[in-house]
Amino acid sequence: MNGAREEADRAAIGKKSAEIIVAALFFAVGALVMYDSQRLGSTWGGDGPQPGYFPFYVALIICASSVINIVRALMIRADKDSAFVMRGQLKLVLAVLIPTALYAAAITWIGIYVASILFIGYFMRRLGKYPWWKVVAVSIGTAVVLYLIFEVWFLVPLPKGPLESLLGLD
Amino acid sequence: MAEIQSLMHGFGVALTLTNLLLMFTGVTLGVIIGVLPGLGGANGVAILLPLTFSMAQTPGGATSAIILLSCIYWGALFGGAITSILFNIPGEPWSVATTFDGFPLAQNGRAGAALTAAFTSSFFGAFVAVLVITFLSPVIAGFALEFGPPEFFSVYLLTFCAFIGTSKEPAFKTLAAMMLGFALAAVGTDPVTGTLRLTFGSTRLLTGFDFLVAVIGLFGIGEILLTLEEGLAFKGASAKLNLNVVLQTWKELPRYWMTSLRSAAVGCFMGIVPGGATPASFMSYGVARRFSPDGERFGTGKVEGVVAPETAAHAAGTSALLPMITLGVPGSPTAAVLLGGLMIWGLQPGPLLFVEQKDFVWGLIASMYLGNIAGLIVVLTCVPLFAAILRVPFSVIAPIIMVVCAIGAYTVHNAIFDVWMMVVFGILGYLFKKLQYPLAPLVLAIVLGDSAEASFRQAMLVSQGDMRIFFSNTLVGFLTTLALLLLLWPLLSWSLAKIRRTSA
Amino acid sequence: MTRFVPAAAMLAAALAAAPAVHAWEPTKSIEFIIPAGTGGGADQMARAIQGIVAKHGLMHQSLLPINKAGGAGAEGFLDVKSAKGDPHKIIITLSNLFTTPLATGVPFNWRDLTPVQMLALDNFVLWVNAKTPYKTPKDYVEAAKKAGPGKFKMGGTGAKQEDQIITAAIEQRTGAKFTYIPFKGGGAVATQLVGGHVDSTVNNPIEAVAQWRAGNLRPLCVFDLKRLPYKQKVTKDMAWGDIPVCKDAGLDVDYLMLRGIFMPPGVSQDQVQYYIDLFKKVMATPEWQKLMEDGAFNRTALVGKEYADWVAKEEARHVSLMKAAGFMAGGGK
């Protein structure tokens, strides 16, 4: 018990590493944009800037700022480095983030309604520890309300899957 | 006063039982639309457009039709603030600036106050704008004609300069975040040459990064992830839930009369130009933060920080109907659909509409007064109801919010790809917030980047690459100078203070 | 609502003329894709059609307009192209059917879709500010030549789309050189002309008519092949039919924009026929007649092979115009 708590309170990632990773990501995006801007023409033409002019300089500033941000992160001394996220926190965040990603991916196959029912159900059962009848009532109820609002009242078609075609709702 | 007479006539046209019923229906629908990020005002108006088509062919029906549609528009303007304040998720682009202080207020347990302030200011902004339309429209209708590409660019520049400059986050992180926003805004079709930029041959990137997808992810999903770290609860859940909060907030509001008036003026200006409600809200927030004695503490949950953007957004949204009916230039996507409606019903927006369709125009103006009053009544009575949503346990409301967000992201382009992008933006929002990369400049750049670049390059086409065009007449020169002054304001006030100190 | 007695009779006649039972009928809502933003010409027409269909109950299922404007409309076309065999999807086109794939290199062509029905052709008019002295297109082009290349500014909607192509065609014919400035919507373009920020536009009739009637703009000529048939006075002394044809007025350029309906590839003839019958009914309604007249449309409405031939001819013309103007993707300037 005590060990588990200590485990949860340990830093998963240090702030220094997080700073460097994010700044490096910025740099990569900047470099990518600069590369494509060059292709489009990034000079000041006869009648004003070319299509790539603004993106090029915008990306240049991104790269320059991220270099400064990396350097500043590198200057954080190891003993001054604080935790970016604790293991326990990260576990909670991932416990939501991974299902969310799966949810987004599942929409393609099973449609947004079924995916939403499963997602809300998982969330309530796993994190909220609700009894099954509440889980079923809220998740299916939400899907039905959303169906009524979007498909019936506002005529906005949302992605559907095999279940809806089985029920003849698409 | 001919205007008063016309207006009274307008009230006569608008004040029928059917029309009043339509007003409340429209406003309620509009609020729902404003709350759900998947339904924009443009959606709602567009869906009902064909219904109004047969309405418009009965006598007086065109007025009823536009009352229904414009009330949806008012409702959506009101409703956008609700999710911004409660969950940090702006339902509409012009409510982004409302999150800056509205959400912290809700976290401090003052959701009711924030909602009341937002609704009341919206009403005030709209009211000022309708007064302007009623009495000054002949004078200002032509004002939009003065605006060519350089003038538009200077307005966008003014928005940026008013908003940035006083960021508390590290300068190079602010810079990187803002530039990332510009880069994201550039993805898609180049507005001037029509070539594809930064799509890397992918057809999914053709549509670019929509503002709404980015905002839902960065603010909404990012916030939920952050909240999770703290445990499974929204802060501020113990909000008081009765209508007294409305009265108490009303007592506080007169203190911000200066901010209200200034924001209403900014909003009216941006609506008439038409620059749009979104830049108006950012500009007004930026200006209020600079000139309020409390400006330092903006962003921590100040009622004044809700008043400023909401007043301006609603004033701009309302006054934008003036260039729409007199020039046929829509100030927002919703206005564009309304405009399409006018044409489908056989009414030609233009300078002559005021002369030829008196009943219709004055009926519309009268309905702006009535519709906004109807809106205020609807949303204020619902304040306790909205605030009560915060009492729903986190593990129930959070997945529902995420589902609604996913639907919102999907409906922007009917693309599942955008739902994936929303998740990516959510992770970015979480990382940025923790590492002090500011989100507001990033979002502002996504919203305005495209238009600002387009008008800059249009201006360069006009002047054949000569930068002096931004000082070529009094109007554009004034706007550009004002923008630069605002940008350099911190520097100026610092040196002024220094001079004063040395001379003392 | 039944005030249009003669019109209703006409509609009844049209209804009677159509076969009572279709070989195919839609079984769910039909997505009506608009490859352009909300509020534009294509959007308005699609929503008017939706309104007409709903009002007269021409269909058991509903018609859902969906805007897919990304990448100059490529988003919408790609969506329909990939919905092979789906009979519950139709798309309304504008000139970006040709210009977008040519200018951006996005892989689609009208041959990837199934042509259904040409609804009408949209006209273009050469407009100048009423305060300027130009009375004929010749005056104007001469003045533009005299001022020197690039001095006169032509405002238009979008980049490398119909407005810019007409501008390029004028340049290729006359040797005058304009600076083309792209704006976001037709209303904004007309306002820029009234405000004197550009020298001329080639706005569609409906986009500029209000300013014409208010005496702020002057039409010089229409880019149709013959005079418009609309005789009713629009301003105090002029009807659409009084505007000379550009060809006759010394500017040998003509251009009409397709407003037509396509379906995804791989649909059956019965399914196409259903929509042809549907649009026949739509076009017989008084509301449609009024829409055509208000917008001064050219009312050519082709189906079948004639339609496909027209589109093929128009595509070839766009290729040659855009090649000459240097608008092709990858070609640079």
pLDDT in tens, B388-447: 888 888 888 889 999 999 998 998 888 899 999 999 999 999 999 999 999 989 989 998
Contact at CB, A36 and B398, closer than 8 angstroms: no
pLDDT 10s digits, C226-242: 999 999 999 999 999 99
Contact at CB, B465 and A47, closer than 8 angstroms: yes
Report in angstroms the alpha-carbon separations of C216 from B340, C191, C204, C209: 22, 10, 16, 10
> Which residues in chain B have their CB less than 8 angstroms from residue A141's CB?
none
pLDDT band at C132 (very low <50, low <70, confident <90, very high): very high
- Mean pLDDT (chain C) is 88
Look up residue B467 and give its DSSP letter: G
Residue located via tokens 């480095």: A81
- Domains C5-122+257-325 and C125-242 agree in fold: yes
pLDDT band at C3 (very low <50, low <70, confident <90, very high): very low
> Which residues in chain B have their CB less than 8 angstroms from residue C69's CB?
207
Look up residue C126 and give its DSSP letter: E
pLDDT band at A2 (very low <50, low <70, confident <90, very high): low
Contact B151, B475 (CB under 8 A): yes
Contact A115, A160 (CB under 8 A): no
> How far is B398 from B392, CA to CA, in rounded Å?
9
Q: What ipTM goes with this model? A: 0.92
Which residue type, as a one-letter code, is found at position B67? Answer: I
Q: Is the pLDDT of residue C135 over 90?
A: yes
Residue C59, helix vs strand vs coil: coil
Query: For the stretch A95-119, what's the b/e string if a residue is b when 16 or more beta carbons lie within 10 angstroms of its beta carbon?
Result: ebbebbbebbebbeebbbbbbbbbb
Task: Flag whether residue B464 sits within 8 Å of chain C, measured between CB atoms.
Answer: yes
> How far is C51 from A128, CA to CA, in rounded Å?
47
Query: For the stretch C103-136, what's the b/e string if a residue is b when 16 or more beta carbons lie within 10 angstroms of its beta carbon?
Result: bbebebebebbbbbbbbbbbbbbbbbbbeeebee
> How far is C45 from B53, CA to CA, in rounded Å?
13
pLDDT band at C2 (very low <50, low <70, confident <90, very high): very low
Instruction: Specify the pairing of strand C125-129 against strand C200-201.
Output: antiparallel
pLDDT 10s digits, C146-157: 999 989 999 999
CATH architecture of C5-122+257-325: 3-Layer(aba) Sandwich (3.40)
- Mean of pLDDT values over B375-383: 89
- Mean of pLDDT values over B163-188: 86
C327: nearest Cα among C184, C209, C180, C207: C180
String of DSSP letters for C253-284 = ----EEEEEEE-TT--HHHHHHHHHHHHHHHT
String of DSSP letters for B433-457 = HHTT--SHHHHHHHHHHHHHHHHHH
Enter the tokens of residue B287.
């200006």
Within chain A, residue ranges assigned H as helices are 2-9, 15-40, 53-74, 87-122, 132-147, 162-167
pLDDT at B41: 72
Q: What are the residues of chain C with a beta carbon less than 8 Å away from any beta carbon of chain A?
A: 28-29, 31, 62, 64, 66, 150, 179
Instruction: Give helix B17-35 / helix B358-381 axis angle, nearest 10°.
Output: 60
Burial of residue B499 (number of CB atoms within 10 Å: 0-12, 13-18, 19+): exposed
Chain A residue nearest residue C329, CA to CA:
A40
Q: Is the pLDDT of residue A67 over 90?
A: yes
- Count of domains forming chain B: 1
- Domains of chain C: which residue ranges? 5-122+257-325, 125-242
- Mean of pLDDT values over B124-142: 89
pLDDT 10s digits, A118-145: 999 998 998 888 999 999 999 999 999 9
How far B251 CA lies from chain C's nearest CA (Å)?
42
> Which residues in chain C have their CB less than 8 angstroms from residue A40's CB?
none
Q: Considering chain B, what percentage of its residues have pLDDT values greater than 70?
A: 97
pLDDT band at C136 (very low <50, low <70, confident <90, very high): very high
Contact at CB, A18 and B47, closer than 8 angstroms: no
> How far is B43 from B323, CA to CA, in rounded Å?
21
Domain limits at B418?
2-503
Q: Is the pLDDT of residue C16 over 50?
A: no
Helix (H) or strand (E) holding B188: strand B188-189
Q: Is the pLDDT of residue C318 over 90?
A: yes
CB atoms near residue B489 (< 10 Å): 16
Report in angstroms the alpha-carbon separations of C154 from A43, A167, B362, B450: 24, 55, 36, 22
Which chains pack against B, by 3+ Cβ pairs within 8 A? A, C
pLDDT at B413: 82
pLDDT at B414: 83
CATH superfamily of C125-242: Periplasmic binding protein-like II (3.40.190.10)
Sheet holding C63-67, edge to edge: C63-67, C30-34, C89-93, C257-263, C114-122
pLDDT at C54: 83
Q: Is the pLDDT of residue B7 over 90?
A: no
pLDDT at C4: 43
Contact at CB, A170 and C28, closer than 8 angstroms: yes
Q: Considering chain B, what percentage of its residues have pLDDT values greater than 90?
A: 35
The torsion of the CA quartet B259, B261, B264, B265, rounded to 10 degrees, works out to -110
Give me the sign of the Cα torsion angle B454, B460, B464, B469.
Answer: positive
pLDDT band at C44 (very low <50, low <70, confident <90, very high): confident
- Mean pLDDT (chain B) is 86
Instruction: Give helix B111-140 / helix B61-87 axis angle, nearest 10°.
Output: 140
pLDDT at C1: 37
Q: Who among B43, B193, B224 is closest to A51 (CB)?
A: B193
Residue located via tokens 């009208």: C110
How far A8 CA lies from chain B's nearest CA (Å)?
12
Which chains pack against C, by 3+ Cβ pairs within 8 A? A, B
Q: Is the pLDDT of residue B209 over 60?
A: yes
Any idea which of A102-116, B197-211, B333-347 has the lowest mean pLDDT? B333-347
> Which residues in chain B have their CB less than 8 angstroms from residue A31's CB?
none
Contacts of A153 (CB under 8 A, 6+ apart): none
B38: nearest Cα among B413, B358, B299: B413
Contact at CB, B232 and A101, closer than 8 angstroms: no
Enter the tokens of residue A64.
């320059």
- Restricting to A residues 140-169, those with a Cβ less than 8 Å away from any Cβ of C are 155, 157
Contact B85, B114 (CB under 8 A): yes
How far C312 CA lies from chain A's nearest CA (Å)?
31
Q: Looking at chain C, which runs of residues are DSSP E strands?
A: 30-34, 63-67, 89-93, 114-122, 125-129, 152-157, 178-183, 200-201, 217-222, 257-263
Q: Considering chain C, what percentage of its residues have pLDDT values greater than 70?
A: 92
Please compute Rg for chain A using Cα positions. 24
Contact A58, B182 (CB under 8 A): yes
